[in-house]
Chain A
Amino acid sequence: MSADLTRRTAAELSALLGAREVSSVEVTRAHLDRIAAVDADVHAFLHVSETALATAAEIDAARGDGAQLGELAGVPVAIKDVLTTRDMPSTAGSRILEGWIPPYDATPVARLRAAGLVPLGKTNMDEFAMGSSTEHSAYGPTRNPWDLERIPGGSGGGSAAAVAAFEAPIALGSDTGGSIRQPGAVTGTVGVKPTYGGVSRYGAIALASSLDQIGPVSRTVLDAALLHDVVGGHDPRDSTSLTDAWPSFAEAAREGALADSLRGVRVGVVRELDSPGFQAGVSQRFHETLELLAGAGAEIVEVSAPHFEYAVAAYYVILPAEASSNLAKFDSVRFGMRVTPPGGGTVEQVMAATREAGFGPEVKRRIILGTYALSAGYYDAYYGSAQQVRTLIQRDFAGAFAQADVLVSPSAPTTAFRIGEKVDDPLAMYLNDVTTIPANLAGIPGMSIPMGLAPEDGLPTGFQLMAPAHEDVRLYRIGATLERLLTERHGRILEQAPALG
């Protein structure tokens, strides 16, 4: 029974818990056992909660008392280490925050707790979410459950690997340029970047404030929707959080799974994101999926987004610029590490020594780059121009959405690459985000769904759906229908992963 429970989706666990066929303690223990069995190999977690079983017992007791509980009450969840948790260290994968226990919970975490979910622990990530492989974590890389010599994507490789390895049914991630969707693609899981402002960022350790968004990581579209319903919605503590009255995404996913939601839907293939340079097996699965969509009644149209070729360049100006400002808070005064130079020094020298010792190479690279992009004499040429490119990309999206209800592309240009393959070549690493970055620049929602294994290497590939801002519900409805068609075609992808442990 215990091993079976880790194979269940969050929706299935919710039904079992609601029918009192299993307890949250049993479900939580099954996942903790799984973590103990496989995480030495996968290294998805930076910290495993010591209070998860006690939390689960409280939920069981409340259920026993007949309390009104949320749908996911008693279901375990993993939390990306970018979110603050008052009972667990929150490091964002950085040495500079090693051991820091924040005095408050991030709003998405507080909402998980209020809904009765059971936090299992904190998941590994590239330091301050800077990376596409989780190799830039100060605490060592996470490994892809499909092949331990390969990367699980990044920056949220820990959350994706935890869900793919059945260490957690669902997890929270953050997506600044693809950090939820690209790990989803390369691990065979589902990941959603909501509309910018759809989920509160209060307590999310900021990378680039005009791009960052918190979202769900799961094995099914419905599970992502259930988690999104719990954490989403306006938060007065985040002044960029939207005041929309969001519909139930779970309801949309359930409708989509049953209905033929694709009939008459215009699916726009972004020509610039259907590149001949992508891995052959990725392109093959992408075009097969388009045929599935057409077979289900969707109208496939080609759309053009001519400025997307400037997106990666604009992103790698805007992101470092904003990051260099956001990371100024790590000053050795209020929290985190302090390193005093030999013989002492002024507060400024202590700060510089601390940041030298506490930040890894990619973080230093981006802070220096961002400082350059914002410095007098270069501001207009770089940051100013990049913000203009952002307008052009938004216009491209507006034109494309005039012709299509959703836009689609491969979620990532390749399957998981080998650990070490790109870590010393920052430009090659940056280009890996070409498919996911445009959505962040425009603030629109995006979802990655597994679309089968690439024939040449047997590794997962991901299909990206994008919708106009505020239309996240469209992703869940259409995504659930597509997921059903893809599962009929390929079976459940994660059931085909090699055994761990």
Chain B
Amino acid sequence: MSEITPDTVRHLAELARIALSEEEVERLTGELGAIVDSVAKVAEVATPDVPATSHPIPMANVFRADVPGATLTTEEALAGAPESAEGRFVVSAILGEEQ
């Protein structure tokens, strides 16, 4: 059995920046436990002699000349933003009161 507890889920939600409700934490604890138990079988055949594959087709890093091309205008880049002013994205305070 996996070690997924409500506290694990709360911690993961904090890392993932999702403000889960307590109801969701409870439901996800059970669901994640079952999923994690099921996917844990990958460890059965992953013996040390098997190299890892991160990418399906072998590829080398790609470089290009450092030449400016066509880019978005400031207006285009800001067009989808929830809030903007003076050509910039606007966000609320970065630090809380105690920080």
User: Footprint of B on A, CB under 8 Å?
Assistant: 100-104, 195-197, 210-211, 236, 239-240, 242, 307, 310, 313-314, 316-317, 324, 328, 331-338, 340-341, 344-353, 355-356, 359, 361, 364-365, 367-369, 371-372, 375, 381-382, 384-392, 394, 426-427, 430, 440-444, 469
Q: Which residues of B contact A195 (CB under 8 A)?
A: 57
- The reply to whether A367 and B53 form a contact with Cβ atoms under 8 Å apart is no
B45 at the interface (CB under 8 A from A): yes
Q: A350, A367, A443, A469: which contacts B18 (Cβ < 8 A)?
A: A367
- The reply to whether A333 and B76 form a contact with Cβ atoms under 8 Å apart is no
15 additional contacts (CB under 8 A) given A316-B35, A356-B18: A101-B79, A310-B42, A347-B92, A361-B24, A364-B24, A365-B32, A367-B16, A369-B36, A382-B40, A387-B52, A388-B42, A388-B50, A388-B52, A390-B53, A426-B31
- The reply to whether B53 and A394 form a contact with Cβ atoms under 8 Å apart is yes
- The reply to whether A350 and B92 form a contact with Cβ atoms under 8 Å apart is yes
- The reply to whether A337 and B82 form a contact with Cβ atoms under 8 Å apart is yes
The 5 closest A-B pairs by CB, nearest first: A443-B56, A338-B82, A335-B80, A385-B46, A387-B52
Q: Who on chain A is nearest to B38 by CB?
A: A427
Q: Which residues of A contact B92 (CB under 8 A)?
A: 340, 344-347, 350
Taken together as a complex, chains A and B put the C-alpha atoms of A381 and B43 apart, in Å, by 6
B15 at the interface (CB under 8 A from A): yes
Q: Who on chain A is nearest to B55 by CB?
A: A210
Taken together as a complex, chains A and B put the C-alpha atoms of A32 and B41 apart, in Å, by 49
**Contacts A242-B57, A368-B13; A347 near B42 (Cβ below 8 A):** no
- The reply to whether A355 and B81 form a contact with Cβ atoms under 8 Å apart is no
Q: How far is the CB of B87 from chain A (nearest CB, A)?
A: 14
B19 at the interface (CB under 8 A from A): yes
- The reply to whether B12 and A368 form a contact with Cβ atoms under 8 Å apart is yes
Q: How far is the CB of A321 from chain B (nearest CB, A)?
A: 11
- The reply to whether B80 and A103 form a contact with Cβ atoms under 8 Å apart is yes
20 A-B residue pairings within 8 Å (CB atoms):
A103-B80, A240-B59, A317-B39, A334-B77, A334-B89, A336-B80, A338-B82, A340-B92, A347-B91, A347-B93, A356-B20, A364-B24, A372-B8, A375-B12, A382-B39, A385-B43, A387-B52, A394-B53, A427-B38, A443-B57
User: Footprint of A on B, CB under 8 Å?
Assistant: 4, 8-9, 12-21, 24, 28, 31-32, 34-36, 38-47, 50-57, 59, 61-62, 64, 72, 76-77, 79-83, 89, 91-96
Q: Which residues of A contact B19 (CB under 8 A)?
A: 341, 349, 352-353, 355-356
Q: How far is the CB of B24 from chain A (nearest CB, A)?
A: 7
- The reply to whether A368 and B57 form a contact with Cβ atoms under 8 Å apart is no
Most buried by B among A333, A359, A381: A333
Taken together as a complex, chains A and B put the C-alpha atoms of A250 and B85 apart, in Å, by 50
- The reply to whether A338 and B51 form a contact with Cβ atoms under 8 Å apart is no
Taken together as a complex, chains A and B put the C-alpha atoms of A103 and B39 apart, in Å, by 39
Q: Which residues of B contact A345 (CB under 8 A)?
A: 92
Taken together as a complex, chains A and B put the C-alpha atoms of A22 and B28 apart, in Å, by 55
Taken together as a complex, chains A and B put the C-alpha atoms of A334 and B26 apart, in Å, by 32
Q: Which residues of B contact A444 (CB under 8 A)?
A: 56
* Chain A interface, >50% SS class: helix
Q: How far is the CB of B72 from chain A (nearest CB, A)?
A: 5
- The reply to whether B18 and A196 form a contact with Cβ atoms under 8 Å apart is no
Q: How far is the CB of B86 from chain A (nearest CB, A)?
A: 16
Taken together as a complex, chains A and B put the C-alpha atoms of A101 and B44 apart, in Å, by 46
Q: Which residues of B contact A334 (CB under 8 A)?
A: 77, 80-81, 89
Q: Which residues of B contact A307 (CB under 8 A)?
A: 45
Taken together as a complex, chains A and B put the C-alpha atoms of A171 and B70 apart, in Å, by 29
Q: How far is the CB of B35 from chain A (nearest CB, A)?
A: 6
- The reply to whether B17 and A348 form a contact with Cβ atoms under 8 Å apart is yes
Q: Which residues of A contact B81 (CB under 8 A)?
A: 333-335
**Contacts A313-B38, A317-B39, A336-B82; A368 near B32 (Cβ below 8 A):** yes
Taken together as a complex, chains A and B put the C-alpha atoms of A371 and B14 apart, in Å, by 10
**Contacts A371-B12, A426-B31; A388 near B46 (Cβ below 8 A):** yes
Q: Which residues of A contact B96 (CB under 8 A)?
A: 346, 349
Q: Who on chain A is nearest to B54 by CB?
A: A387
Q: How far is the CB of B65 from chain A (nearest CB, A)?
A: 11
- The reply to whether B56 and A196 form a contact with Cβ atoms under 8 Å apart is yes
Q: Who on chain A is nearest to B3 by CB?
A: A378
Q: How far is the CB of A177 from chain B (nearest CB, A)?
A: 13
Q: Which residues of B contact A347 (CB under 8 A)?
A: 91-94
Q: How far is the CB of B3 from chain A (nearest CB, A)?
A: 10
Taken together as a complex, chains A and B put the C-alpha atoms of A211 and B95 apart, in Å, by 37
Q: How far is the CB of A485 from chain B (nearest CB, A)?
A: 31
- The reply to whether A313 and B91 form a contact with Cβ atoms under 8 Å apart is no
